Amino acid sequence: MKGDNKIRFYCSTMASILFFEKPGCQNNTRQKAWLELSGHTVEAINILEYPWSKEELSLYLGENPVSACFNPAAPAVKTGTISPDLFNREDALEAMVKNPILIRRPLLKTGNHYLQGFDTAVLRTIITLAPVPGAEKVVESFIMSDFNNCANSGTLSCNQL
């Protein structure tokens, strides 16, 4: 189909990606590596130090349910101090701007696409995730990994840099 060819052509080009991460996060490190091993240029930005505005952050959160935009590994969420289900969108944005550890990550921007989380199905509609020659085995090991759950879920390490 003509539309399918357009998508394949777009996905075959290499992209420049802004990647908002928490430095030291194991999942973010593997996610960046997968993108780079797929031939993309990744500019990593510390999500905790970036000067967020509610307007800019809102672009990344898109139409996701408010509760899904919170980082479930953030200490305040894990301990129940903050209950994401009780926030409206405006209050959630305000809380996340004040305390960026609350933002579910990574946040990615490529072209005019703003994404929250590392959803490979969504990413594949925008960019290729196929490995460059020689990186096939490494990328294959990433495909078997859990990119959505914190490897340190038993600790409050999300607060540590």
What are the CA-CA distances from residue 45 to residues 51, 65, 78, 84, 138 (Å)? 11, 24, 24, 25, 24
Q: Is 26 helix (H, G, I), strand (E, B) or coil?
A: helix
Catalytic residue among 11, 25, 69, 158: 25
Catalytic annotation present for 69? no
Pairing of strands 41-46, 16-21: parallel
DSSP string, 105-156: S-EEEETTEEEES--HHHHHTTS--PPPTT-HHHHHHHHTS-SSS-TTTTS-
The residues assigned a catalytic role are: 25
